[in-house]
A = this chain, B = another copy of it.
Amino acid sequence: MGSLFLSVSTAFFLIPLIFQTCLMVSGEVKSYDWNVEYMYWKPDCVESLVMGINGKFPGPTITAKAGDTILVKLTNKLHTEGVVIHWHGIRQLETPWADGTAAISQCAINPGDTFLYNFTVDKAGTYFYHGHYGMQRSAGLYGSLNVDVADGAKEPFAYDDEITILLSDWWHQSVHKQEVGLSSKPFRWIGEPQSILINGKGQFGCSLGGEFINGSTKCSQDIDEQCQPEVFSIQPKKKYRVRIASTTSLASLNFSIGNHTMTLVEADGNYVQQVEVDSLNIYSGDTYSVLIETNQYPSTNYWISAYQIARKPPHPLRPGLTILNYKPKAPNPVLDAPSSSPLPTPPLWNDFTGGKSFASKILALQSDQLTIPKPPTSFDRRIVLLNTQNNNSGYIRWSINNVSLVLPTTPLLGSLKYGLLNGLDSEKPAEDFPANYDVMKPPVNPNSNSGGSVYKFDYGITIDVIIQNANVLEPHTSEVHPWHLHGHDFWVLGYGEGRFSSESSNLNLKNPPLRNNVVLFPHGWTAIRFVTDNPGVWPFHCHIEPHLHMGMGVVFAEAVNRIKTVPSGVLECGLTAKTILADSITSPDPLGAPSPSPSPGGVSSLGPMGAVNLIFIYLFVLCWLYVC
């Protein structure tokens, strides 16, 4: 009787397990074993602590093909801090628990613990990954993630080789001090970054980079391998794809390659109409691919530059700089630097007209060969999100429709899936803001509320979101905010000035680009559209790290009822710590893929089957006792 019972229960588990395993092996499986740890490092020639992976900063570049499965076994080697990693731009179709957002999609991984990220990169494009807990992205936890087209698939452009550029910004003050300052009364702003890094390397104190690269003694810092510019050496007379991603904490950047016109071909993992530009504006969270022809005079090196825009930059300027070097010329940037190629001219930081002009050039590719998704012609629900800066009893916060985001302890995915009301705010967040609110002026009442702003969406509907900017606390001032949505691409239907009006604001339904990150200009609005076809719990937030820390985000809970199962190890904290086992009796472990190895301290070492069987054995014994 007992063995029959156990066999039935085992079969009950095994069938979907085998089924799911079969489903997951369409591409290649790329496995990584990563240790996250703090280390002494000199990102800009000044020694600091950085959060590195496997002893390197930035973390390793992942290169995969569309359809591949990525397995990252992440071990937290920090001493007292939890950690997670978000895979920026990857939609996590059917794996919402692998999105890597602490307190939303999973519990932070405890020090010493190992967690397995297991997801499919379904679509070719330029992506990156980064920490998504506290301000660990600012601490240096990031790296590049490039997805090529699947074997046999074609892209709408050709190139001979590629270059990957990851842009970031760097502060000398620790992120712990930054976090505490932002949450303090009186408020302490983090200020502008000390350096802009290109692939994790910058040169503090070399205000125009040139002194450093020319080997001058003006540089106040010692040259060190860790901060020496990464020189991009290319072959002449070729076509290169340059993949550019910005994981800055704060800085908006203007990127250019001296003497080389760039042809924009991809934005955020989606093909765009090819357009030639001399420079491009890249906001935190944006990714682009451009094509360049290496057709310039090969004995000269050319500047690659990233200047701060959209906020008043520090004086002297601190651009990120490196060089494009033509082979076989020696690439040593110190001994053999550019002489004839002039330093790029810094753009006007407040040239928002130019910024808007650039943004309007990004349009979906029109193609006969490729299927480019078109937006539905109408929406089912429109949500307007007013962005305000607030002063809550001396604490400076950002709020969306008067709520400043404070994440709960229990991951929202767990609280929503298991209906744990204690883990959720009972207030339903507002879907618009008062008609008499003047977005051109400081808030009349600078106070706002705090909480978890969760918008719940049914499956398969079309959502329009209008992100509405406003004036900050100081008069005549409004800031740039790049907004990023997890779990989705969205169509960018348009940008506009002042307050959005459904009557007079023009939306582009013809060829809007698909993106996962979009800029909101000062005193303006941005309209996006997406379809709720990906069950999960997805943050939508300003990608400026201190702004998110100060509450600038909301959460979209999408068809959570359709998320059948969550793997072991995802939600064992807070209110869900105990709920999981009870639930795992009724729903089998879903991954069906390699699980974290039973290393000491691995959260999943017991294994879901072990725990479930334990209960079943106990249950069986009790039943047996009862019936006998």
0/1 per residue, A213-248, Cβ < 8 Å to B?
000000000000000000000000000000000000
A535 to chain B: closest CB distance in Å? 24
Nearest B residue to A576 via CB reads B606
A409 touches B136 (CB 8 A): no
- What are 22 sample pairs from A and B whose C-beta atoms fall under 8 A apart? A37-B180, A39-B184, A40-B184, A80-B82, A80-B134, A81-B81, A82-B82, A108-B110, A110-B573, A113-B573, A174-B176, A176-B176, A408-B600, A409-B600, A422-B606, A423-B600, A572-B573, A573-B573, A573-B603, A574-B601, A577-B603, A579-B611
Each complex incorporates copies of this chain amounting to: 2
| Segment of A16-24, A356-364, A435-443, A620-628 engaged in the interface with chain B | A620-628
User: B585 contacts A618, CB within 8 Å?
Assistant: yes
A135 to B79, CA, bound (A): 9
A49 at the interface (CB under 8 A from B): yes
Interface residues of A (CB under 8 A from B): 37-40, 49, 79-83, 103, 107-108, 110-113, 133-136, 174, 176-177, 179-181, 183-184, 188, 407-410, 420, 422-423, 568, 572-575, 577-582, 585, 598, 600-603, 605-606, 611, 614-615, 618-619, 622-623, 626-627
Shortest C-beta distance, A288 to chain B (Å), equals 31
**Contact residues in B for A82 (Cβ distance below 8 Å):** 80-82, 110-111
A112 contact from B40, B83, B408, Cβ within 8 A: B408
Minimum CB distance partner of A133 in chain B? B80
Tell me how far the C-beta of A310 lies from the nearest C-beta in chain B, rounded to whole angstroms.
Answer: 27
Residue from B180, B619, B623 in contact with A38 in the complex, judged by beta carbons closer than 8 Å: B180
Q: How far is the CA of A530 from the CA of B598 in the complex (A)?
A: 37
Which residue of B37, B598, B615 is within 8 Å of A582 (Cβ)?
B615
Given A81-B80, A603-B574, the answer on whether A582 and B581 have CB atoms closer than 8 Å is yes
Are B49 and A177 touching (Cβ within 8 A)? Answer: yes
What B residues does A112 contact at CB under 8 A? 103, 407-409, 574
- The chain B residue sitting closest to A608, CB to CB, is B578
Are the C-beta atoms of B600 and A136 separated by less than 8 Å? no
Enumerate chain B residues within 8 angstroms of A408, measured Cβ to Cβ. Answer: 112, 600-601
Asked whether B574 lies within 8 Å of A110 as measured between CB atoms, the reply is yes
Decide: B49 and A180 in contact? CB cutoff 8 A: yes
Q: Is the CB of A614 within 8 A of B582?
A: yes
Q: For A103, what are the chain B residues with a Cβ–Cβ distance below 8 Å?
A: 112
Complex interface: chain B residues within 8 A of A575 (CB):
601-603, 605-606
Partner of A39, one of B83, B180, B585: B180
Whether A176 contacts B49 in the complex (CB less than 8 A), given A81-B80, A82-B110, comes out as yes
* Residue of B with least CB distance to A568: B578
Distance, CA A174 to CA B103, complexed state (A): 26
Hey, which chain B residues are within 8 Å of A183, CB to CB?
79
Give bound CA distance, A39 to B182, whole Å. 11
Q: Which residue of B lies closest to A572 (CB)?
A: B577
Beyond A572-B572, A600-B422, A626-B627, whether A578 also contacts B180 by CB under 8 A is no
Whole-angstrom distance from the CB of A430 to the nearest CB of chain B? 21
